[in-house]
């Protein structure tokens, strides 16, 4: 309870200050006249909301998991917050820094996935590379869905809540403390971001939340070998599949670079095709994804059932995208 109060109070206070200071000094502002594909706002808006989340929760991450995890999380955060403040960091540079953050966690921290269940086990070096690759993927997945007010933070809070409930069930007090701090630190930002969009998460916030979701996923499996890795994937399958499908859509269907931004992510296409408001679109997606997150708790050690959940989500996503969103655009 104390962690919830402290993290929420710090986050909401810092976020309020960042909004005030950014407008007063006209710094850290995301211009509403930019031509970025993901832009939906119509007024200049601060883009450093992640700073409040980071500052309000990083102490608890250090307290629970130690220096290595908190250092790796800080590297991931700063790979984005510098871009939010300076606006001149290339995608390649950010990707390199994210890989360094993941490598610190995996190699120095010693946390990696030895198996994903169902008889699939990795040799040591393959396990290291696979875990680093997975962490970098999750880091960027939260950034990709950060296009609507409350979407990325709402999905992240849902995931932290699920991991926190699981930790309570298995009696992992330390993990529950970390998840509680992350949930309420994110909530302190959420109240300003949703629905009015007074401040944005920014790359720093998205990368930090993405890293912590990836780290907690790996730590859950490492600390509790009975847990299926598919449980962790089910909890964050929406942003991860958004990345996978986006790469396929750009490369195979559009002939574009995998990293080239576009306006065809599910949340963007759904909002335009159905003529929905920004907040309403976010709510629809969060509520639609929430059952997959919640149900996964009851089957955390049932790999085949969790795999079925994930397959059902992917099929549902593709059906909605193909037969509900796209036809309305034509």
Distance between CA atoms of residues 123 and 194, nearest Å: 44
* pLDDT, position 153: 97
Using DSSP, state whether 66 is helix, strand or coil: coil
- Average pLDDT value over all residues in the chain: 90
Q: Tell me which H or E stretch contains 121.
A: strand 120-121
- Number of CB atoms found within 10 A of residue 168's CB: 14
pLDDT level of residue 258 (50, 70, 90 thresholds):
low
Mean pLDDT, to the nearest integer, of 106-122? 91
Residue 118 pLDDT level (bands cut at 50, 70, 90): confident
Q: What is the pLDDT of residues 36-95, one digit of tens each?
A: 555 555 678 999 999 999 999 999 999 999 999 999 999 999 999 988 887 778 888 999
Residue bearing the bigger pLDDT, 120 or 307: 307
- Closest C-alpha among 254, 158, 145, 257 to residue 201: 145
What is the predicted pLDDT for the residue at 330?
A: 46
Model confidence at 30, pLDDT cuts 50, 70, 90, reads: confident
| pLDDT tens string 160-186 | 999 999 999 999 999 999 999 999 999
Query: Where exactly are the structural domains of the chain?
Result: 2-329
């Amino acid at each position: 309870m104390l962690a919830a109060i402290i993290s929420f109070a710090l986050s909401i206070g810092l976020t309020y200050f960042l909004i005030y200071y950014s407008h007063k000094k006209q710094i850290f502002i995301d211009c509403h006249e930019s031509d970025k594909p993901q832009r939906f706002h119509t007024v200049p808006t601060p883009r450093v909301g992640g700073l409040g989340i980071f500052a309000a929760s990083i102490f608890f991450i250090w307290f629970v998991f130690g220096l290595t995890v908190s250092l790796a999380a800080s590297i991931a955060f700063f790979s984005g917050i510098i871009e939010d403040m300076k606006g001149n960091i290339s995608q390649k540079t950010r990707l390199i820094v994210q890989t360094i953050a993941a490598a610190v966690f995996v190699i120095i921290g010693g946390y990696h996935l030895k198996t994903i269940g169902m008889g699939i086990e990795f040799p040591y070096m393959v396990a290291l590379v696979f875990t680093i690759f997975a962490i970098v993927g999750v880091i960027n997945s939260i950034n990709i869905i950060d296009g609507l007010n409350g979407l990325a933070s709402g999905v992240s809070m849902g995931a932290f809540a699920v991991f926190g409930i699981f930790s309570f069930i298995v009696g992992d007090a330390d993990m529950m403390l970390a998840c509680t701090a992350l949930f309420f630190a994110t909530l302190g930002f959420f109240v300003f971001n949703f629905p009015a969009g007074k401040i944005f998460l920014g790359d720093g916030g998205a990368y930090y939340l993405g890293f912590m979701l990836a780290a907690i996923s790996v730590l859950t499996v490492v600390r509790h070998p009975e847990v299926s890795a598919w449980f962790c994937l089910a909890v964050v399958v929406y942003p991860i599949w958004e990345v996978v499908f986006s790469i396929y859509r750009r490369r195979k269907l559009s002939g574009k670079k995998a990293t080239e931004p576009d306006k065809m992510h599910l949340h963007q296409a759904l909002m335009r095709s159905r003529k929905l408001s920004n907040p309403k679109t976010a709510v629809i997606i969060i509520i639609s994804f929430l059952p997959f997150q919640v149900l996964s708790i009851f089957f955390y050690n049932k790999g085949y059932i969790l795999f079925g959940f994930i397959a059902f989500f992917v099929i549902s996503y593709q059906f909605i995208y193909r037969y509900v969103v796209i036809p309305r655009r034509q």
